[in-house]
Amino acid sequence: MTGSSGGLVAARLPLDPGPPIDPFALAGPDDILFHTGDLALVGLGRAVAITLPHGLDSASDLDRAGDTLAAIPCEDRVDPAGGGAGVIGFGALPFERYRPASLVVPEVTFGIDASGKEWVALVARDRSDLPTGSTGLRAMLQRMMAPGSERTAAIPAPASVDPLSSDESFEAMVGEALAAIGSGELAKVVLARHVDVRMERAVENTGLLRRWHQLEPNCTVFALPTPDGRFVGASPELLVERSGRRVHSRPLAGTAGPMAGTRGIVPPGELLESPKNGNEHRLVVEAIERALRPLCADLDVPDRPHLVHLHNLTHLGTSLTGTLLRADDGTVPTALHLVAALHPTPAVGGVPAAKACRLISRLEPRPRGNYAGPVGYVDSQGDGRWVVGIRAMTVDGRQARMAAGVGIVSGSEPAAELMEANLKLTAVFDALAPGVTFTTSPVPVGHGTAG
């Protein structure tokens, strides 16, 4: 199905007692995973696909998506006051906001929160197909779990690393962006370096995601099927979260290297005082504030950013929180409408957005696809959480397509931006091929050296 709930019905039920469900094993090699650290969601099968023919540019497409989710009646036996929030649409949307996209409502959605409370939501064509109680649900999920072979399987080594732009050509791209900034055409643009990795054999996705979660426990680990392969990542950047009338966004911009003197990249201890990084971050926060302020009764924007530490990088982050305004009919924007209001932020696009996106399209060697696009979910109540699809790659068999972006502002240096892009690519490569040193050398890397 592609856009109509078609008489579907749903139920959200608590699990019967028993051994805990492993969300990574349940998602297996092909299904949906969205793991925030305090909430893990797994989607299995497809009850309905809700198409967005014009992507985020069509308000009517967004309205129809919300109406489709809300039209699926859900009996919520976990939280009767929840009103059916077990009906969830997951999506990995393209970076280019006008491109067609879709949301998938799984047939089975498993959830577990930080307290260990587990539940399962089932979507069926007839109410008689839904269980009347929780007995046997845990056993059903355990049967769906992938075998645990990934825990002992050898991790395939990379056979080759193929950068789509050489070091010199990427620095030249940065130089062109700096010329456009110097002429007053724009204030900031984010340029991505694209790299293709070919492994010796197919990537084992379950083990990859489990390693990524261990490597970046404070990031949102995700995996969603797309037409190009499985889009997987560990995003540190919250685009937007809506819970009732509460809204939250935590953009990141400004980067410190792992140590002092990393070819022009500031060390973590100096990041808060760096004028270049501070300017880059300020442009992002101001753009998000401009987008959210008209939608909010109140919006708290801290005066100074904080440091966000990852395993090999540190970023500047700012948490914006607010209360959404009610429309005349009592509604507030859904999480998907908020995504449309924000994407692309200057953390992945630029300022002004339209000019920056045109420059990105002209300079980058291929379209971004899902890289830097919104990844997340929206439920039938309009609540949801969406992250920015960075520190990510598209995996298809032995192939992994990676990209990493750097924010170019006045004062940026091409050599330092190249190093930053490679450090961000390293963050992805460390999960894909642990123990192998990332390099963009055109020579096949084989087993590499311990990193």
3-state secondary structure of 423: helix
Residue-level length of the chain? 451
3-state secondary structure of 394: strand
- For the entire predicted model, the pTM comes to 0.94
Q: If one looks up domain 158-432 in CATH, what number appears?
A: 3.60.120.10
* Cα 166 off chain centre by: 27
Q: Give tens-digit pLDDT for 249-284.
A: 999 999 998 765 555 678 888 999 999 999 999 999
414-432 vs 205-215: helix crossing angle, rounded to 10: 120
* Cα 111 off chain centre by: 18
Q: How far apart are CA 205 and CA 202, in angstroms?
A: 9
- Is residue 346 within 8 Å of 282, Cβ to Cβ? no
Q: Where are the domains of the chain?
A: 9-145, 158-432
The two three-digit tokens of residue 32, written as one number: 């949906």
Q: Give tens-digit pLDDT for 285-336.
A: 999 999 999 999 999 999 999 999 999 999 999 999 999 999 999 999 999 9
| Conformational region of residue 440, where left means phi above 0, alpha means psi within -120 to 50, and beta covers everything else | alpha
Across 126-264, where does the E strand assignment appear? 158-163, 188-199, 220-226, 229-235, 238-243, 246-250, 252-256
Q: Based on the number of CB atoms within 10 Å of its own CB, is 379 exposed (0-12), middle (13-18) or buried (19 or more)?
A: buried
3-state secondary structure of 238: strand
Q: Give tens-digit pLDDT for 34-78.
A: 999 899 999 999 999 999 999 999 999 999 999 999 999 999 999
Q: Output the pLDDT for position 450.
A: 28
Q: Which comes out higher in pLDDT, residue 79 or 367?
A: 367
CA dihedral 345, 347, 349, 351 (to 10 degrees): 80
Mean pLDDT, rounded, of the chain? 92
Helix H or strand E segment including 212: helix 205-215
Q: Which of 180, 184, 188, 191 is nearest to 352 (CA)?
A: 188
Q: Which of the residues are catalytic?
A: 188, 237
Start-to-end C-alpha separation, the chain: 47
